[in-house]
């Protein structure tokens, strides 16, 4: 199965991967906070999209693609154009560099995120592991 980012299949694969990865469980054991991706229309993504992921102490308690009527509410909201998310997931853009250069806008406690850099980077590793295809123009 191809896990096209962003899709329900991609999200399900990410949740399964997070919940079955011993390294992520160990590294993220102190993480408390849900995350939402606010993906802005760009290139082949024709309309904005939002993905919610509930992360807690090294497990993923669930996630979903939000519909247009739902408010985006999470401890951390990561906002960027689609192309920047793709570049992070493909390894072309370092996630920490993206945050520092505001190619990825972080809404939430930046100090908490910076204290938990290993967790952030391992989450990205997991997301990269399940991303085997992106939307094409």
Number of folded domains that form the chain: 1
All residue ranges of the chain with pLDDT < 70 are 1
In this structure, is residue 101 part of a structural domain? yes
In this structure, is residue 136 part of a structural domain? no
pLDDT tens figures, 40-79: 999 999 999 999 999 999 999 999 999 988 888 899 999 9
CB 25 within 8 A of CB 37: no
What CATH number is associated with residue 73? 3.30.1050.10
Distance of CA 87 to the CA centre of its chain: 12
**In terms of Cα–Cα distance, which of 103, 105, 131, 116 is closest to 27?**
116
In this structure, is residue 135 part of a structural domain? no
């Amino acid at each position: 199965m191809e896990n096209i980012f962003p899709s329900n299949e991609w999200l399900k694969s990410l949740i399964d991967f997070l919940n079955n990865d011993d390294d992520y469980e160990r590294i993220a054991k102190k993480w408390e906070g849900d995350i939402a991706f606010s993906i802005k229309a760009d290139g082949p993504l024709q309309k904005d999209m939002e993905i919610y992921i509930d992360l807690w102490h090294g497990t993923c308690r669930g996630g979903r693609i939000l519909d247009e009527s739902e408010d985006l509410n999470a401890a951390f909201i990561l906002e960027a154009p689609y192309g920047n998310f793709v570049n992070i997931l493909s390894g072309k853009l370092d996630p920490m560099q993206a945050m520092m250069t505001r190619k990825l806008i972080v809404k939430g406690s930046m100090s908490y995120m910076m204290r938990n850099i290993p967790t952030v980077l391992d989450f990205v590793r997991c997301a990269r592991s399940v991303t085997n295809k992106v939307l094409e123009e």
